[in-house]
């Protein structure tokens, strides 16, 4: 599949930057002419992934959140959100609905479930002590713009 466009950004792991990440990714995919629902799905999934980096990956410590976005032909959007935080020891357990590593912060443990419900595919890779990468994939239904080289 041919790569059509790509973007990268990084920012400090501050809660206030979650909205920035959501907006930046939205601006990146808006040229595909997504429906309101598709754009909302992407924004919600990105918001959950970034929040996971901030809350669980860095656990009240400063760090950097990295986002790489790619658009492929046929309107396939791939967004990779990663941190260099504590990592996840048991990815399968972490992806179970209602599991959280921060119950004292009233976390619902639904982040990965939300990502999965709004994306076509979610991949998680993690190494304890080195960080976590979440890759979100979604195909935008529109046939306009980038898939035809405009």
Query: What integer best gives the mean pLDDT of the chain?
Result: 88
Residue 106 has pLDDT above 60, yes or no: no
User: 0.75 cut: is pTM over it?
Assistant: yes
Residue 136 has pLDDT above 70, yes or no: yes
Rg (CA), the chain: 15
Residue closest to 131 by CA, chosen among 9, 13, 5: 13
Tens digit of each residue's pLDDT (9 = 90 or more) over 30-84? 999 999 999 999 999 999 999 999 988 898 889 999 999 999 999 999 999 999 9
Q: Which residues are catalytic?
A: 48, 52, 107
Residue closest to 43 by CA, chosen among 136, 113, 124: 136
């Amino acid at each position: 599949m041919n790569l059509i466009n790509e973007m990268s950004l990084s920012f400090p792991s501050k809660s206030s930057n979650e909205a920035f990440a959501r907006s930046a990714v939205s601006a990146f995919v808006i040229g595909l002419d997504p429906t309101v629902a598709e754009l909302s799905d992407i924004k919600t999934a990105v918001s959950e992934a970034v929040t996971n980096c901030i809350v669980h990956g860095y656990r009240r410590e400063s760090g950097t959140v990295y986002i790489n976005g790619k658009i492929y032909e046929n309107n396939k959007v791939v967004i990779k959100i990663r941190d260099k935080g504590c990592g996840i020891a048991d990815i399968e357990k972490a992806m179970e609905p209602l599991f959280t590593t921060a119950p004292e912060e009233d976390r619902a443990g639904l982040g990965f479930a939300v990502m999965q419900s709004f994306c076509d595919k979610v991949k998680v890779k993690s190494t304890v002590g080195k960080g976590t990468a979440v890759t979100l994939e979604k195909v935008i239904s529109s046939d306009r713009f980038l898939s035809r080289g405009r």
